[in-house]
Structure 1
Amino acid sequence: MPEPHTQPSYPTALGSSDLKTITLLDHDLAEDIMGQVGFGELAFWLATQRRPSPGETRVFEAVLAALADHGFTPTAIVTRLTYLSAPDSVQGALAAGLLGGGSRFLGVTEDTGRFLHHVLTSANGDLPAEDADWDALALRTVQEQRAAGQFVPGLGHHVHKQGDPRTPRLMRIATEEGLFGPHLSLFAAIGRVHPQVLGKKLPLNGAGVCGAALADLGLPLPLLRGFALLARTAGLVGQLAEELRNPVANDIFLSVDLNNRSVPPRPDTDGGSHG
């Protein structure tokens, strides 16, 4: 006798709907969330499936604000240029900008959070309790990176050579909310001790401190870049809105198009092999 057919089941604590209601995170979307929960709080809740405290929400939304826009970065420029090329595809313009979130822009948030977490989980014994102990751990960390010929993620900024203004502000907010945890503590210590190893003082990158703060909030490390992209989406929408009011994309395009110069081909000296 054939087995009775069973329907597949796909459990989710996120959105589901029936004829009259929409349920999100086990709450009625229309009555319990709309107009009651801010977008930043909801984004945190969706990622962790636990509702954040007011302090966690404040730190998280400070991170989103810090990463939303940083001027005419490559992500902003490519969004404007893609919209110039395809004004019928807002989604394409936004996607083009988001796809540029990598190791130099936006990806620093994830890279820093992962790096700090690796150091903390690799440390022997209990975590430091005093600044001097944090400094000792940070000093070993920077020395090891230097010996390996590796950079410390989140250390240095191409514009804010004298200090990224987002860094002390986010650290103050985390302190005020009692959420200055081990990742921020290690990152701050790196900021104090790295000149002893590198022979120069570099700023703690704002995107890097965001990664430390997100890691201290207990957010999933593989999603840290996703939160940076969430923030930058708002900034890119703003870039497109300004492009509609005050277009510059065509000027950027023409600046390159009218000023390019032809040069002879230069073959690769190794015969084109890059394997």
Structure 2
Amino acid sequence: MRIGKQDGAFTAIATSDADTITVRGHDLCAELIGKIDFTDYFWLLVTGTRPNDAQRAITNACMVAIAEHGLVPSVQASRMTLAAAPEAWQGAMAAGLLGMGSVVAGSSEVAGRYIAEVLEESRKPGADLHSAAHTSLEALKARRAKVPGLGHPQHSAGDPRANTLLALADELGVSGDHIACLRAIAEHAPAIMNRPLPINVSGAIPALILDAGWPLEAMKGIPLLARAAGLVAHLYEESQRSIGFIMSHHADLSIEYDGPPAASGDKNHSA
């Protein structure tokens, strides 16, 4: 059965023959292995071009900022999977990555798309960044929605990771329209939403990486790759010093059953 588009059967990423392996127009063995670092290679694989110094620095900084995030649900799922199946690292890694949605880790993609939408509105006739940000925030407030990229339950005075990333972007001369848009949103949000809403790391990362030239459609790849590194650390530790079953046991103790009681007086009940 034919499903979906059938024409355009091409890839520009890699090919090979009996003598060579070509990746994005480069000989893997002669030009890349031992001659390019992984961040450069990642950028090359995704975009087809090598990053410049600023792009490399921004990509490295963004991934370092979020590679490790503690025992968030995705990490717990990964560690408990390995505890139950210690031979299945691939399954445990998959369990962690599959748990990266719009609330945890994938929030960078949500914020990036929001920033891009506000920026697009600001470029319409008669609009600017501040008016577009204000209008968008009022719309979010009307439907009681959160502001993507702003606010933090612990760092209410400001997310230090976001502050460091934004300062780096300013220092490297990368700060452009996306960072300006994020800052405009952050300027108006507290008054409209009536609460402190500092820029968080999930807002800073897409603003930086988009201004550096990363494609919006590949935004989720940044936190996915970063968190994969963090998961490897957690899985290695889990293999050496397991806490997977401890977490599972504590969940049993912490979660109280509130369903109907067992019909213990029922003569037809069998254990």
TM-score by length of 2: 0.86
Match of 2:234 among 218, 239, 245: 239
| Residues 1-40 of structure 1 aligned to structure 2 (within 5 Å) | 10-40=9-39
Q: Which runs of 5+ in 2 are unaligned?
A: 1-6, 262-271
Q: Which runs of 5+ in 1 are unaligned?
A: 1-7, 267-275
* 1:61–1:110 Cα change, 3 Å: same
Task: Please state if 1:158 is matched with 2:153.
Answer: yes
Which residue is equivalent to 1:212?
207
SS at match of 1:175: helix
Moved over 6 A (4+): none
SS at match of 2:59: helix
**8 Å contact 2:107–2:149 — kept in the other structure?**
yes
What is the Cα deviation at residue 147 of structure 1?
2.6
**8 Å contact 1:45–1:52 — kept in the other structure?**
yes
Quick one: distance in 1 between partners of 2:253 and 2:186?
A: 44
Identity of aligned residues (%): 35
TM-score by length of 1: 0.85
94-103 or 206-215: bigger deviation: 206-215
119-128 or 161-170: bigger deviation: 119-128
Which residue is equivalent to 1:57?
56
| Residues 110-129 of structure 1 aligned to structure 2 (within 5 Å) | 110-125=109-124
Which residue is equivalent to 1:180?
175
SS at match of 2:22: strand
What is the Cα deviation at residue 114 of structure 1?
0.5
68-77 or 194-203: bigger deviation: 194-203
> What whole-Å deviation, never above 9, does each CA across 1:119-169 have from its counterpart, x for those lacking one?
1112244899xxxx6444433332232134322111112332222111111
* 1:81–1:20 Cα change, 3 Å: same
Quick one: distance in 2 between partners of 1:194 and 1:9?
A: 45
SS at match of 1:203: coil
Which residue is equivalent to 2:141?
146
Task: Please state if 1:168 is matched with 2:163.
Answer: yes
Quick one: distance in 2 between partners of 1:143 and 1:259?
A: 39
SS at match of 2:34: coil
| Residues 245-256 of structure 1 aligned to structure 2 (within 5 Å) | 245-256=240-251
Aligned length: 255
29-38 or 93-102: bigger deviation: 29-38
Which residue is equivalent to 2:107?
108
Match of 2:260 among 260, 265, 268: 265
What is the Cα deviation at residue 195 of structure 1?
1.6
Which residue is equivalent to 2:74?
75
77-86 or 154-163: bigger deviation: 154-163
What is the Cα deviation at residue 49 of structure 1?
0.9
